[in-house]
Amino acid sequence: MCERIRGDKWLPDLQASRVISPQKNFPNNTRVCALIDEESGRWLEDRVREEFLPHEAEAIISIHLSTTGTEDKLIWSATSNGCYSTKSAYHLLSNEGELSEPGPSNPTAHKQFCRQLWSLNVPNKIRHFLWRASNDSLPTKKNLQKRNIMSESTCERCGDDTEDTIHGIWGCPLDLAPMHEADFHPTHWLSPPLSFYKINYDGVTFQDSALAGLGVVVRYSNGWVIAALSERITLPPTVEVLEALACRKAVSFVIDLDIHDVVFEGDSEVIFKHLSSDQPSMAAFGHIVDDARSLAARLRSFHFSNTKRKGNMVADKLAQLAKVLYEPKIWLEPRGHP
């Protein structure tokens, strides 16, 4: 990493992306690579904790580095895909939070609207929903983030915008898609093509600790489980980073197993969208996605797939199991190559 430790924006926080810790051992022009072990590609944790304030040290250590030597790149942190857009710049400069709050410009008209709403000849649950939407009290990801229930507010369906009330009801392009498109995302596990293996992966966060879990399960086309993995890791900064790490772990696990024809499947549409692109990912987790694609390219045949949460339950349970593990756990069944 060629960024300067002090002066450049490289910490994973929009509000405080520059280092503020008092200078100790490193001169001002020292690069971030001085904090990384060249052989293992991991942070030098003792050096990081010695040099930085505790909250900055934890933020740095939570950054998961590339395992394939991906080059540094500049990303636009105001969008989830890392690409600049005029819309995101407008929201950034004019304080999106204030602009997107639903509210009346005319109090008298608002009172009339409320009277008309509650007099609608529709079921009570619809009136109640409309009232909550007009008062921005629906459990959108943005509102849940305000209450510290969720760590981020990006829409899980499109992965391109904040899930507030307006986006959730009218703005998300995928919410406007025909309902029959859901058939492309099965709610149960489906077998891969004959002679292929399907690898399901998932990540879960543990709310009572700064930890997370990764789960991977490997099944042959007849559904027979031949390998599984459960591993506990430091809590990443976002759910998207966690899902990307789960995918990268799945790919590296398959390579270790010497499997050649593979379908990788997770339940994050955001990560699937980036994995399926033929362009380098510019998202904050893009280096991890690029790692996964680079590793997968070593296989004879592979492709990425997406499923609903119910189709990924085994990987989810394995990820939850990691909470009680102190080191990675691997299960292997004897097998012969098809």
Cα separation values, 179 from 154, 182, 183, 184, Å:
22, 6, 8, 10
125 lies in the same domain as 202: no
Question: What's residue 82's pLDDT?
Answer: 77
270 lies in the same domain as 318: yes
328 lies in the same domain as 208: yes
The yes-or-no verdict on residue 233 having pLDDT over 80 is: yes
In a domain, 338, yes or no: no
Give the whole-number percent of the chain exceeding pLDDT 90. 31
> 210-214, 247-251, 278-282, 307-311 — which one is most confidently predicted on average?
247-251
Cα separation values, 131 from 97, 127, 180, 240, 296, Å:
20, 6, 29, 32, 49
92 lies in the same domain as 168: yes
Question: Which among 129, 154, 180 is the end of a domain?
Answer: 180
The yes-or-no verdict on residue 300 having pLDDT over 60 is: yes
In a domain, 69, yes or no: no
Question: Which among 117, 147, 180 is the end of a domain?
Answer: 180
What are the structure tokens assigned to 182, written together?
């859901």
51 lies in the same domain as 8: yes
How far apart are alpha carbons 323 and 80 in whole angstroms? 28
In a domain, 327, yes or no: yes
Q: pLDDT digit string (tens) for 174-221?
A: 554 443 333 344 457 888 998 899 999 999 999 788 899 999 999 998
Q: Torsion over CA of 218, 221, 223 and 224, rounded to 10 degrees?
A: -70
Question: What's residue 174's pLDDT?
Answer: 59
Question: What's residue 119's pLDDT?
Answer: 85
CB 231 within 8 A of CB 322: yes
Question: What's residue 250's pLDDT?
Answer: 97
What's the rounded mean pLDDT across residues 25-48? 85
In a domain, 37, yes or no: yes
Question: What's residue 183's pLDDT?
Answer: 39
pTM: 0.65
In a domain, 116, yes or no: yes
Angle between helices 107-118 and 124-134 (to 10 degrees): 160
String of DSSP letters for 145-183: HHTTSSS--B-TTTSSSB--HHIIIII-GGGGS-GGGGG
Question: What's residue 329's pLDDT?
Answer: 94
CB 141 within 8 A of CB 155: yes
Residue 338: pLDDT band (50, 70, 90) is very low
Of 58-67, 243-252, 287-296, the least confident: 58-67
Residue 335: pLDDT band (50, 70, 90) is low
Question: What's residue 177's pLDDT?
Answer: 44
Question: Which among 13, 28, 63 is the end of a domain?
Answer: 63
In a domain, 249, yes or no: yes
Question: What's residue 176's pLDDT?
Answer: 45
CB 33 within 8 A of CB 41: no
Its domain, for residue 55, covers 1-63
276 lies in the same domain as 175: no
**Beta carbons within 8 Å of 305's beta carbon, 6+ residues apart:** 198, 263, 264, 265, 272
How far apart are alpha carbons 282 and 77 in whole angstroms? 10
321 lies in the same domain as 214: yes
Task: Give, rounded to a whole angstrom, the gap between the first and last alpha carbons of the chain.
Answer: 42
The yes-or-no verdict on residue 83 having pLDDT over 90 is: no
Question: What's residue 16's pLDDT?
Answer: 62
The yes-or-no verdict on residue 93 having pLDDT over 90 is: no
What are the structure tokens assigned to 233, written together?
């890791």
> What's the structural domain count of the chain?
3
Question: What's residue 190's pLDDT?
Answer: 86
In a domain, 218, yes or no: yes
How far apart are alpha carbons 215 and 316 in whole angstroms? 6
In a domain, 75, yes or no: no
String of DSSP letters for 65-105: PPSS-PPP----TTSTTS---HHHHHHHHHTHHHHT----S
**Beta carbons within 8 Å of 3's beta carbon, 6+ residues apart:** 10, 31, 32, 72
210 lies in the same domain as 327: yes
Residue 321: pLDDT band (50, 70, 90) is very high
219 lies in the same domain as 287: yes
Q: pLDDT digit string (tens) for 99-149?
A: 445 555 555 666 777 788 888 888 888 888 888 888 888 888 888 888 777
Which is nearest to 160 in space by CA: 84, 89, 244, 81?
81
Average pLDDT of every residue of the chain: 82
> 71-75, 95-99, 326-330 — which one is most confidently predicted on average?
326-330
- Pairing between β-strand 211-220 and β-strand 301-306 as defined by DSSP bridges: unpaired
CATH number for the domain including 280?
3.30.420.10
201 lies in the same domain as 302: yes
